[in-house]
Amino acid sequence: MRMQQIKHGGRRPLPSSAPTIIAAMLCVVALVAAGTAWWMLRPQQKDTLEHLAQPQSSSSTLNRDKAPTPKPQKSQERQKAAGDSPAAKASRAIATMSLDERAGQLIMAPMFAGGNPADLSALISTRHVGSVVLIGNWNNGTAAAKTAADVLQSYAPSGNQLIVSTDQEGGQVQHLRGSGFDTMPSAVAQGQMSADTLRSSAKTWGGQLKQAGINVDLAPVLGTVQVKRSSNAPIGALNRDFGLDSNGNAQHGIAFVEGMRDAGVGATVKHYPGLGAVTGNTDFTTEGILDTTTTLDDEEIGAFNTTIKQAKPAMVMMSLATYQRIDSSAPAAFSSKIIDGTLRGSVGYDGVVISDSLSAAAVSGIATKDLGVRLVDAGGDLACIGDTSYVTPILDGIIARAQSDPAFAKKVTASATRVMTLKYQMGLAK
């Protein structure tokens, strides 16, 4: 019967479960189609979201053109460079120093023409004095100065050599003369040169200093004379300025600093914020050293600030005059408003701040033991001293204050770090 029904009766009747089977088959087909579509689109999706993907297995890697190129470790490179910077090296060196050693880095002791370098042996080797200034009439040429400098350096640690400086401005202020040294024209005459010519000349003069063992020149003077030149005892009367307006003085100051740097010698702009408006010479008198006109936006200080920002001198020397309209309470070298507030804060200078000679008449009314303390407390770093008898009291005063005042001790550390940073920059420390 059933065979006949198939042959003669058309379709065979479907079982009652057929709709369920068909639905299941359609689901399977749909799933296969969806899976195929997903697989075909999968590489594009991974490329789009690659930055979110996990590392691929070896089998999936074969489906890509090539493995991603590792990115340079720029952050690590920057960290390594920062760790090798002069500032970082200085910080590590300071961390190994005692308080006495740190304080010694803040002293520049005098070495007089005709004197015996051995007289400074104990100060350098035992008291850790880190800088020396050659003073007086050194008239025997580069060889004699080099001999003295080499002997002085022999007293210092090989990994922490001395800053050896001098006043080599030109004209009436040229401490090193004789064979190997040009006779330098006055700063006023230098002001008549083009900036390019002055830079070239400064490179020559700096090379001569380098041959003599000098690594820092305490020049140039950047004062802009505001009064009658003959009445401006510290600058104008001696032709120690470039003799130009503030802009011209700045351009020539930049040229001088860069020329010295070209020769491998650091330069020092002085006397911040300027001695162009006083009549007294701070080296010799307490009279006529109150500046009643200079302000923070004055042209004279503007010449300094321009030079400092553009040329980045090794040092900035602070004036011992008092500036009534800026800070009437203290000479510039002892004024935190001028050093920390203006020079470091507004101008952004982070180099070594050195005083004018702390044995000068201008500060003779201050106890010797307090001179270095007041400099460092205001943000200064290096006490320049023109009288050997002042060295030990100034050094002892700094140490005593640091021992009793943790906040001041931190300032000593900061100042010593700036001095050591300069030494690393100049290759004097290793």
Q: Are 180 and 142 in contact, with CB atoms under 8 Å apart? A: yes
Residue 353 lies in a domain: yes
Place of tokens 């050194």: 138
pLDDT given at position 72: 56
Measured CA distances, 331 to 221, 274, 323, 422, 429 (Å)? 18, 12, 7, 25, 32
Place of tokens 């900035």: 316
pLDDT given at position 83: 74
- Residues 249-275 pLDDT 10s: 999 999 999 999 999 999 999 999 999
Q: Are 250 and 221 in contact, with CB atoms under 8 Å apart? A: no
What total number of domains does the chain contain?
1
pLDDT given at position 75: 60
Residue 363 lies in a domain: yes
* Residue 397, phi then psi, degrees to nearest 5: -65, -40
If you compute the radius of gyration of the chain from its CA atoms, what whole number of angstroms results? 37
Residue 9 lies in a domain: no
Measured between alpha carbons, how far is 351 from 298 in angstroms, rounded to an integer? 23
Q: Encoding tokens for residue 301? A: 């200080």
Residue 37 lies in a domain: no
Domain residues for 213? 90-426
Measured between alpha carbons, how far is 379 from 138 in angstroms, rounded to an integer? 33
Measured between alpha carbons, how far is 384 from 164 in angstroms, rounded to an integer? 12
Measured between alpha carbons, how far is 354 from 275 in angstroms, rounded to an integer? 16
| CATH code of the domain in which 325 resides | 3.20.20.300
- Residues 130-157 pLDDT 10s: 999 999 999 999 999 999 999 999 999 9
Mean pLDDT for each consecutive 10-residue tract of the chain (430 residues)?
Answer: 37 45 47 47 39 35 45 59 88 98 99 97 99 98 98 98 99 98 99 98 99 99 96 98 97 99 99 98 98 96 98 99 98 99 98 99 98 99 99 99 99 99 98
Amino acid identity, position 75? S
Residue 303 burial (CB count, 10 A): 30
Amino acid identity, position 24? A
| CA proximity to 312, closest of 351, 360, 276, 357 | 351
Residue 18 lies in a domain: no
Q: Are 324 and 335 in contact, with CB atoms under 8 Å apart? A: no
Q: Encoding tokens for residue 101? A: 């050693």
Place of tokens 């087909």: 29
Question: Degrees (nearest 5) of the Cα angle 100, 102, 103?
Answer: 65
Q: Are 278 and 323 in contact, with CB atoms under 8 Å apart? A: no
Residue 248 lies in a domain: yes
| CA proximity to 124, closest of 142, 147, 105, 141 | 105
pLDDT given at position 59: 37
Residue 49 lies in a domain: no
pLDDT given at position 238: 98
Residue 388 lies in a domain: yes
